[in-house]
Amino acid sequence: MLSRRSVIGGMTGALASAGFVRSAQAQDAGAAQQAPAPAEGFSFDALTARMRDAATRGYEPPAFDIPEPIRGLDYEGYKQVAFRPDHAVWGDTDLPFRLQAFHTGWLFNEPVRLFVVDDGAVQELTFSGADFEYRPPLDPADFEGLPFPGVAGFRLHFPLNRPDVFDEVIAFQGASYFRAVGYGNVYGISARGLAVNTATGREEEFPRFTEFYIEKPHPDSRSLMIYATLESRSLTGAYAFRVTPGIDTVTDVTARLFFRADVERLGVAPMTSMFLFGENNRAVFDDYRERVHDSEGLRIVRRNGDELWRHLSNPHVLANSFFVEDQPVSFALNQRHHAFEDYQDAEAHYERRPSLRVETGEGWGKGHIQLVEIPADADHMDNVVAFWTPEARVTAGSELALGYRLVWGTPGSEDSSLARAIATRTGVGGPSGVRNDDGLRKFVIDYQGGMLRGLGPDAAVSPITHIGGGEVKTSSLHRLADGTWRYAFDVAPAGDGPVELAVRLDMAGRRLTETWLYQWRPGDEQRRF
C-alpha cells in the first residue's frame, strides 16, 4: 500500500501525501497559453495583464508530449528519480537559496515552465536527464537524450535549521499545491492556490500553476519572490509569493483572479490536511499509535477578540461546516501536540508537522470559512480541507484581488490570553458501569493556560454550553491537580442528524477560554475499518 511515509521518505519530500497525489490525478488538464516569456522588463503588473487578457479567450486544454519511458514511470519507478544536488540552480554561488526541479512522470505528466528573473530580464530554466539520478532498477540509458517539455515543479532550499546545511523549505508540485516548513518541521499540511467548486454538486476544478518566475536572490536576501500564472476552465490568475524562511516560514501571497465563467463556490487560501484519529475517536481504529493526524483543529480568530477551536473529526459520512465571518483576523489548521509520546510514530513524526495559519489582508470583508471533513481509513489520505469563500458570488467577466499571509511552523502560545482546549475525549455516555440504552455520548474537554492560571478549585468558573440537534443531560466541571479545568457532559441526540456543540468557560461574565466547537453524528464512534 502506498503510504504517506514512504512517499515522503522515498522522494525526499517531493510529494505531500496520497491526498496530494489524488488531487494531481484529478487536476484539470488546462494550462496557461504557452506564450514566450518576455526577454526583459518583467513585472507582476505585466503578468497580470497577460492573464487578464487570457481570461477573455476560451479555454484550450494543452497537449503534453511526454516521451516514454517518462510517461511510463509508476510510483516505484518515480521514487527512484532524484535531482542531482550539485546541479541545483545557484548551487555554485554564495546566494542563500538553491533551486531543484521535480521530474515529470507517474502522476505528474503536466509540466510547468520555470524562469529566472534577474533585474527584470527573464531567462527560461531548462533541464535534461543529466540533471537527475536514475537509481536501480531504472536504467539511466533509457533517459539519455530525451526531450524535456518542462518539469513537474520545483523546490527551494535554504539554511533553515543549520547555517551549513541547505534544507528544503518550500515545494510547488501538482496543480496549484504547495507546502512549506518552519524550523524543525517536516512536511505535512499543504496549501493550494485556489479551490473551485469543492464539496458541491458540480465537478471540482483543480486550477494549476503553469509558469513560475523566480527572482534571483542577492547574497544577503532573507526572502525570495516567486510569480506564477494560474489557469482552469473557469478562470485565470496571476500570483505573487514572497517566501521568508525562519522559525515560522512566511509566505506573503497576492492573488489577482479573472473569471471566464460563473463559479458556484470559490475557495480562497485553501489548506489540505489529514486527520485520521485522536483522543476523540481513538476507539474507531485498531492502531498502536496514540494519534495520527497532520492537523487536529481549525482555529479562527475574530476581529472582536473571540477565538474558536473546532476540533477535527473523521466522520462516517462527508461533513461540511460553515463559519460566517466578517474580515476574520486569521484561520488556521493547527497541530497542537508536539511530543513524540503524543503519537508514538518513529517514522512519520507527526509531532513535527507544521501548523498553517492564514492571516487575512485588507478587502476580505464578509464571507465564510468552510471546513470539509472526508471519511478516511488510512493516514495516506488527505481528508481535511479548509478555505475562505467571499460573500459575493463571482461571475463571468468579474475580477478579484486578494492578499494574505501564510505562516508555517509550530504554534506557541498563539498570542492569546484565553485558555486553550488541549484535549478532547469522547466515549459512551452515562454513569460508568451502567448500560447506556439512551444513545448518550460523553464529551470531556480539558482547558489549560491563559486566565485559568492561578485560579483555585473554588473559583466561580462556569461553562457556557450551546447544543444544536441534541440536549445536554448531565455535566460536571472540575479543576484537576495540575491546574487543568475539565468539563464533562453527556449529550442525547435529537435524531440521526449532526449535533453541533459549543462550549467555553466564563467567570463573572468574562470569557476565560476559547470557544470549543465540535460536530458529532451518531455512528461516528462505531468501528468501521
Residue limits of CATH 2.60.40.10 in the chain: 420-520
Spell out where 429-526 has E strands. 441-448, 462-468, 470-479, 485-493, 499-507, 510-511, 515-520
Enter the pTM of the model.
Answer: 0.90
User: What pLDDT, on the 0 to 100 scale, is given for residue 528?
Assistant: 64
Q: Give the cell for residue 347.
A: 517514522
**Whole-angstrom distance, CA of residue 108 vs CA of residue 71:** 9
How many C-beta atoms lie closer than 10 Å to residue 496's C-beta?
9
Residues of the chain with pLDDT under 50: 1-36, 39
3-state secondary structure of 68: coil
**Whole-angstrom distance, CA of residue 258 vs CA of residue 253:** 16
Residue limits of CATH 2.70.98.10 in the chain: 4-275+292-409
Please check whether residue 200 is in contact with residue 264, taking contact to mean a CB–CB distance below 8 angstroms: yes
Please list the residues that pair with 472 across neighbouring strands: 491
The distance in angstroms from the start CA to the end CA of the chain is: 16
**Whole-angstrom distance, CA of residue 291 vs CA of residue 286:** 12
How many C-beta atoms lie closer than 10 Å to residue 246's C-beta?
16
Distances (CA, A) of 513 to 278, 329, 356, 468, 503: 21, 18, 22, 21, 9
**Whole-angstrom distance, CA of residue 390 vs CA of residue 236:** 18
Q: Give the cell for residue 297.
A: 483543529
Q: Considering the domain delimited by 4-275+292-409, tell me its CATH architecture.
A: Distorted Sandwich (2.70)
Please list the residues that pair with 390 across neighbouring strands: 367
**Which of 62, 73, 61 shows the shortest CA–CA distance to 146?**
73
**Which of 309, 376, 234 shows the shortest CA–CA distance to 515?**
309
User: What pLDDT, on the 0 to 100 scale, is given for residue 275?
Assistant: 97
User: What pLDDT, on the 0 to 100 scale, is given for residue 17?
Assistant: 32
With 0-12 / 13-18 / 19 or more C-beta atoms within 10 angstroms meaning exposed / middle / buried, residue 370 is buried
Q: What is the DSSP letter of 419?
A: B
Residue type, 472: V
Please check whether residue 10 is in contact with residue 184, taking contact to mean a CB–CB distance below 8 angstroms: no
* CATH 2.60.40.10 corresponds to the domain 420-520: yes
Q: Which string of DSSP letters, residue by residue, matches 369-390?
A: EEEEE---SSTTS--EEEEEEE
Please check whether residue 146 is in contact with residue 170, taking contact to mean a CB–CB distance below 8 angstroms: no
Question: Up-side HSE of residue 276: CA atoms within 13 Å toward CB?
Answer: 19
**Whole-angstrom distance, CA of residue 7 vs CA of residue 178:** 16
Please check whether residue 332 is in contact with residue 191, taking contact to mean a CB–CB distance below 8 angstroms: no
